[in-house]
Structure 1
Amino acid sequence: MAEVQLTPLLRFPEFENNWETLTLEKMSSRIGDGIHGTPQYDEEGAYFFVNGNNLSNGRIEITETTKKVSEEEQQKHYRELNDRTILMSINGTIGNLAYYNNEPVMLGKSAAYINLLPDFEISYVFNYLSTRKIQAFFHSELTGSTIKNLSLRTIRETKLHLPTDTPEQQKIASFLTAVDARIQLLQKKKAKLEEYKKGVMQKLFSQEIRFKNENGNDFPDWEEKRLGEIGATFNGLTGKTKDDFGEGKPYVQYMQIFSNSKIIIEDFGLVKIDEGENQSKVQYGDVFFTTSSETPNEIGTASVMLDEIGDVFLNSFCFGFRPNSLSELVPYFSRYLFRSALFRREIIKLAQGSTRFNMSKVELMKLKVFLPREKEQIKIAEFLTSLDDSIESIENEIDASMEYKKGLLQKMFV
């Protein structure tokens, strides 16, 4: 039988040797996981207790909710981690990867560690483990019914194809690292622009900074008005069951409102509406608010309809606000007004409940907002829209770069 040739579709021309197949067990000095019990937590501890959900985008992510343990507790459950360690989530969330960079951590049971031998390029192995092929293999080997688990045995038996020449491993790893560096640069650029937008919105809506009119003069003072003075509310769908959804007329879904300050019309759901049925229809300039949330900070999230549409309805877990005049409240301006930090602080105060929080429409209509005149609203909206366009452009570049990398991973590995 002829020998099977292990060579990738895309290869650097200076390398010709065939590739070999090894298991992760043969490539590692040790493969293990964290403790399977609950440690003794210590708010003043020097070590973070991390699990699989702390592993993301190649890094260990520490959040405000990450618990700590003392050095004594960490030593009691010591795991040897070093600069050749790859961490991977193996319980619940599967296959998330991170490099270990000497962070002060103690591992929980949903985080596995792979200590590679010096003969293998760590970045090469890291990228190989993130390929669709390997991730699909991991998911095919999961055990458990409600919470899925990837066994250490499966990890140890995972087969990787790799160049026999270490320089080829290194060149592949360096090339992919350069692609990652571009993605990270774009992500930082996007984060800085988002932070700038956040800061400038704060200054605009607090009137710390103001635009001038076309003649270079000040616009008139902003006017304080209650929401109930400038518009009225309307309800979403009523009398519907789950059997009514999936076909029929388009409607604005809850997540369309929660996820974006403007309604993305391509994401409409469908609902059956009988002829002559009395349901509120939405229109250009309408503002939608979520009425229920799991936390007070998410109550009353707003989104605006910025497209001219036909018969479209609103989900029953939100309500609409229709301005009396679109020159008094310009739609592109209201998109930012109702998501500004100043307005959000006031609306959060309306949250009522303990496990689930709700908001009263009546109380919302009592809230006061400061409104500039139409021309200043337009200037503010145009400026913030241009920032959003720039952020979206960078986001598209990130998506394209990540798709490019996915293609490389498929072609550069066997």
Structure 2
Amino acid sequence: MERYNDYKDSGIEWLGNIPKHWETFRFIDNVKLRHGYQFRDYDFTDEGIRVVKISQLDPKGNLNLTKSSFIASDRLNSFKAIRIYQDDILMALTGGTIGKIIRVGKISEPLLQNYRVGNFFPDKKKLNKTFLYFLLASQVTEEQINYLLNRNGQPNIGKESFKNMFFTLPPLKEQAQIANYLDAKTTSIDKKIKLLKQKIKHHKAYRKTLINETITKGLNGDVSSWVRFRLKDLGYLYSGLSGKSGDDFNQDDNPNNKGFIPFTNIAINTYLDKKQLGTVVIEDNEKQNQVKKNDIFFLMSSEGYEDIGKSAVLIEDLKETYLNSFCKGFRLTNKNSDASFINYLLLSDIYRQQMLVEGKGFTRINLKMEKVNNFSILIPPTKKEQQQIAAYLEAKTNTINNIVNNIETQITTLKELRKTLINEVVTGKVKVATYSQ
């Protein structure tokens, strides 16, 4: 892409030089930010009019209405002032996704704007609405929001925050050209990302099917000789860290620091990753259980059913390392069983579903030790056959994982390209092909 012929100093440090014929504007002069209504728990009903909360602002840039709250339908006229329409620009004004922005697509029902969801309305005589969307989606906005948050230490933004933000202002006709250009380019990039994500979904589904088929049918389809065991017949469970407070973890430069396996290392991996360890202070006189090679680890407590009972296996030696308190370790004592095979077996759908059934709780789901100890599995009679199956699955799943990782790298590259493209175009670093000086 080419640059404009002439540039000038914008007078704003973080904007730098801008095309000579462009101007800058202070947010408050050209844009109105509308806050939503602070609905209370007693306002909500089982059905009626959907209320758009921050959780409905999908990071992908879409409005996700699958998990909505409602207010009674007969109250619509009372909230006309906060009704949401197609092409509205919505932003999360608080929380962990602060600054997240979406443009509302086609909608077929009335929607209302909840508190801490912002809606932006430009002065149409000065500012193209789609151009404003891309401005708000650019790094220029992100950096100004981050500056305000770091300076004030408050995880909220609002009218006062935006009041004195500054942005670029091309001529209105050129704004429309830029908006159309970015619409076309970002739509194209988004389609590529969507296709790549579908490929990932396909490969992950194949990976799951491969594990399920192999772990229940073996390599030759004959499991008539396989033997049923309870886990406690093959080894024993041991507990994670006990008696620790938050202050004991991840202390910098403490001489008594030892490695520990975090919850997430088990949740996201098949094999424990030694690069994903935390540190915990262990005094010389403490009695804590150290992990060993070929131990299998279970998530025994979780906020949801997705992770409960998830297992991972340690296939390498770790020097003096301990286990998270929300987990249990399982150490094989039966010399005729292979840890990697058993872990694959426990990750298959048929066994995962059996394990999920044993999880109990409301605000937090928990597994009891006796349920895991008595868990029944069917395994080949020889360790050699188990190892052959595990080796086969490792080779196959590694190939799939490498493909998925490559696709994820492509997605990351496209997302960075999208972000850079928006920022360079809306700040005038590059010129769109449709504009001529």
- TM-score bin (small chain): 0.7 to 0.9
Question: Which AA in structure 2 matches 1:100?
Answer: V
**Per the alignment, do residues 40 and 184 of structure 1 end up closer, same or farther by CA in structure 2, a change over 3 Å counting?**
same
Query: Which residue, out of 52, 60, 64, partners 1:61?
Result: 64
Could you tell me which of 241, 260, 275 is aligned with 1:251?
Answer: 260
8 Å CA contact 2:239, 2:328 repeated in 1: yes
Shift of 1:322: 1.8
**2-structure distance, mates of 1:231, 1:222:** 18
Matched, 1:235 2:239: yes
- Residue 350 of structure 1 corresponds to 358
Report the equivalent of 1:87: 90
Relative to 1, partners in 2 of residues 1:242 and 1:3: Cα closer, same or farther, differing over 3 Å? closer
Q: Would the aligned equivalents of 2:186 and 2:418 in 1 still touch at CA under 8 Å?
A: yes
* CA–CA distance in structure 1, aligned partners of residues 413 and 205 of structure 2: 23
Residue of structure 1 aligned with 2:115, choices 109, 129, 132: 109
**Where do residues 324-343 of structure 1 align in structure 2 (5 Å cutoff)?**
324=333, 328-331=337-340, 333-343=341-351
Q: Please tell me whether residue 159 in structure 1 is matched to residue 169 in structure 2.
A: no
- The offset of 1:218, in angstroms, is 4.6
Contact 2:296–2:339 (Cα < 8 Å) also in 1: no
Distance 1:314 1:388, change over 3 A: same
Q: Residue 72 of structure 1 aligns with which residue?
A: 74
Displacement after TM superposition at 1:349 (Å): 3.4
Q: Which residue of 2 aligns with 1:189?
A: 199
TM score, norm. by length of structure 2? 0.76
Q: Deviations over 1:319-355 (max 9, x none)?
A: 2112235762341x44433233322332233334554
CA positional deviation for 1:364: 1.0
Taking a change above 3 Å as real, the CA distance of residues 225 and 308 of structure 1, as seen in their structure-2 partners, is same
Q: Describe how 1:156-305 pairs up with structure 2 within 5 A.
A: 157-164=164-171, 165-166=174-175, 167-205=177-215, 207=216, 210=217, 212-213=219-220, 218=222, 221-245=225-249, 246=251, 247=254, 248-274=257-283, 278-295=287-304, 298-305=307-314
Q: For 1:182 and 1:102, how far apart are their aligned partners in 2? A: 21
Q: Distance in 1 between matches of 2:116 and 2:73?
A: 21
| Identity between Structure 1 and Structure 2 (%) | 22
Report the CA distance between 1:161 and its aligned residue: 0.7
Deviation of the 1:151 alpha carbon = 2.0
Q: CA deviation at 1:123?
A: 4.8
- Secondary structure, counterpart of 1:261 in structure 2: coil
Q: Is the 8 A contact 1:330 1:378 kept in 2?
A: no
User: Which residue in 2 is equivalent to 1:99?
Assistant: 103
Q: Matched residue pairs, number?
A: 399
Contact kept? 1:253, 1:269, Cα under 8 Å: yes
Letter in 2 for 1:53: S
CA-CA distance at 1:368 after TM superposition: 0.3
Computed over aligned residues only, the root mean square deviation of the Cα atoms, in angstroms, reads: 3.7
Q: Structure 1's 386 and 121: CA in aligned 2 closer, same or farther, altered over 3 A?
A: farther
| Equivalent position SS for 2:347 | coil
Unaligned runs of 5+ in 2: 1-6, 428-437
Contact 1:211 1:379 in 2 (8 A): no
Query: What amino acid maps onto 1:33 in structure 2?
Result: H
Structure 1 gaps, min length 5 = none
Query: Counterparts of 1:240 and 1:402 in 2: how far apart (Å)?
Result: 41
Question: Which of 134, 138, 143 is the aligned partner of 1:136?
Answer: 143
Deviations 1:335-380 (A, max 9, x none): 4332333223322333345544433223311110122442234334
- Give the conservation status (yes or no) of the 8 Å contact 1:22–1:161: yes
Judge conservation of contact 1:222–1:370 (CA < 8 Å) in 2.
Answer: yes
Q: Structure 2: which amino acid aligns with 1:369?
A: I
Letter in 2 for 1:189: K
Alpha-carbon distance change, 399 to 307 in structure 1, aligned in 2, over 3 angstroms: farther
